Structure 1
Amino acid sequence: MKELMKVKKQKRHRKSLTFYTACFGFRKPYKVLCDGTFVHHLVVNRITPADTALANILSATVKLYTTRCVLAELKRLGKSYSEALDAANNLIIARCEHDKCARADSCIMEVVGENNSEHFFVASQDTDLRKKLEEVPGVPLIFGLRNALFLESPSAFQKEYVKTSEERRLHMTDKEYQIFKDRAMKRLADGEADNSNAEIVENNDLGDSIASAQAIKRSIISRNHNGVKDKPQFKRRKAKGPNPLSCKKKKSRENQNNPTKETKGDNTVKRSRKRKRSQKGKKSTETDS
């Protein structure tokens, strides 16, 4: 049963990762922004090392980040969070624009921004913070449950955002339409100018061809006046008598039908074939009689 649940969990995580990588351009190694509540959860449940545990659910190497405001908040919480503060000091500090330390949740919201340009995974145990981040496109959320870590599925808002952005790509904006219209009008104007130039060139070519044809005609007429013939004249052959081979007499059919005649000098010899009858029948009749 545990193995089956583990397989379903991995399948769900792969599906969520595919969504974020395909739709929002997340790339390896993944960057995970942790707040104080998440770091404290890791320490209490002894989920160590933290980067290995997160790499297992994301199936890739990770880099863990936090902010100066998160560190200041852990420091204010006292001795009960001292171990979490020591662990958070080992993380990479993400840059925030606060001169004075602000609340950790508001600091993380500002670091993520309106569209999460830095492609952060946000890890937090604060449910209110996670609900706010669900309304920001392209923010994967990670939380812990006892000694297990989970990657939340994309929210309905994020799915709808991806759908509308895909539909928006299929249509031109007013600015793009105006640019396209200006380019089309410019091409039409250039095309009309090219056509007018082509007509001028064609008219010039037509005039040149007419002039050359007239010049050729004048040269032919001048040759005829001078007695020069345009084409060579050949003598026609006169018809002669019939072919002697075609006038040869045909052989008579009698000679073809009687091939048994042979000529020897002046005498003709005829050969005739006689049918020989067997004498067996006569001998048998004589003996019977």
Structure 2
Amino acid sequence: MRLKKQKRHHRIVRFYVTCYDFHKPFKVLCDGTFVRHLLVNRITPADTALSNLLSVGGNAGAKLFTTRCVLAELKSLGDSYSESLEAAHNLMIARCDHTSRKSAVACIMEIVGENNPEHFFVATQDTELRKKFYEIPGVPLIFGLRNSLLLEPPSLFQRHFAKSVEEKRLHMTDLEYKMLRKRAEKMLDKEDNVTSDADEELGDQMPASENLSKTSSSHKTGDMKDRPQFKRKKAKGPNPLSCKKKKIHKLPNLNPEKITLFVCDC
């Protein structure tokens, strides 16, 4: 079961790397609910756990981020979230451009934007926030389940968006088509100029070449008449020295004296 989960996480990470240009070290943007979940379930150290999740056992070197609005929201929740606030202070701060304080959900939505330019993995336990990111391309989601961390598979919208972008890359734009056409016309003009120059040079050299061909042909015919004609040798039989002599089989001598006749009385 653990091996299947690792393979599934590896496929998800590879999808975002190939289709949305994510690269190592991966950046994880955490909200207050996710930090709280890590402390309650004692998933520490958090950076090691997330590195193992994103690299499937390797060393991806995940960097954990949060925002000032998340810290302010944890501080406003009172002493019950003091440990979560201390743990969140140890994370790096992602820059948010808004001047006035916003809620953690609005702040994270603004940082991610319409296409997640900073390539953040968003780690949250808020199901409503995760649903909002289903309709934004290139936003991988991380959540916790008891004492384990899970990567959420890409939504259908994210898969269709990646497929459409890949199809656009395969086709030329209008500007690329015009540039290619101009280049082809220039190459054709150069070829026409080269062929015309070559034809002119050949036209000047034709009389000299004809005379040379005539003289060469006359020399060839004269040489053919003067040359002696040799007859081809016909194929001969095998070398008699290399052949074996035939063996002569002699019949035994029959002496008539030694011949005895057997006569039987009937």
- Bin of the TM-score, shorter chain as denominator length: 0.7 to 0.9
Is the aligned partner of 1:30 residue 2:26?
yes
Which structure's CA Rg is the greater one? 1
Change in Cα spacing, 1:276 to 1:39, as seen in structure 2 (3 Å) is closer
Which of the numbers 248, 258, 264 marks the counterpart of 1:280?
Answer: 258
Matches within 5 A, 1:190-269: 190-206=190-206, 209=209, 213=211
Which of the numbers 40, 50, 55 marks the counterpart of 2:46?
Answer: 50
Residues in 1 aligned to 2:8 and 2:259: alpha-carbon distance in whole angstroms:
115
Amino acid at match of 2:25: P
Q: Which residue of 1 aligns with 2:14?
A: 18
Change in Cα spacing, 1:281 to 1:208, as seen in structure 2 (3 Å) is closer
Q: Which residue of 1 aligns with 2:242?
A: none
Residues in 1 aligned to 2:99 and 2:201: alpha-carbon distance in whole angstroms:
74
Amino acid at match of 1:51: D
- Greater CA deviation, 171-180 or 55-64? 55-64
Q: Which residue of 1 aligns with 2:239?
A: none
Change in Cα spacing, 1:14 to 1:281, as seen in structure 2 (3 Å) is closer
Amino acid at match of 2:124: S
Q: Which residue of 2 aligns with 1:71?
A: 71
Residues in 2 aligned to 1:154 and 1:112: alpha-carbon distance in whole angstroms:
16
Residues in 1 aligned to 2:110 and 2:208: alpha-carbon distance in whole angstroms:
78
TM score, norm. by length of structure 1: 0.68
Matches within 5 A, 1:115-194: 115-194=115-194
Number of equivalent positions: 226
Q: RMSD in angstroms over aligned alpha carbons?
A: 3.0
Residues in 1 aligned to 2:254 and 2:209: alpha-carbon distance in whole angstroms:
98
Residues in 1 aligned to 2:259 and 2:82: alpha-carbon distance in whole angstroms:
147
Residues in 1 aligned to 2:36 and 2:82: alpha-carbon distance in whole angstroms:
9
Residues in 1 aligned to 2:95 and 2:34: alpha-carbon distance in whole angstroms:
19
Amino acid at match of 2:184: A
- 4+ runs deviating over 6 angstroms: none
Residues in 2 aligned to 1:174 and 1:45: alpha-carbon distance in whole angstroms:
55
Residues in 1 aligned to 2:69 and 2:254: alpha-carbon distance in whole angstroms:
141
Q: Which residue of 2 aligns with 1:108?
A: 108
Identity of aligned residues (%): 56
TM score, norm. by length of structure 2: 0.73
Amino acid at match of 1:179: M
Residues in 1 aligned to 2:254 and 2:145: alpha-carbon distance in whole angstroms:
128
1:130-179 CA-to-partner distances (Å, cap 9, x unmatched) read 22222222211001223322110110011111221222222212222122
Q: Which residue of 1 aligns with 2:219?
A: none
5+ long unaligned stretches in structure 2:
216-221, 229-252
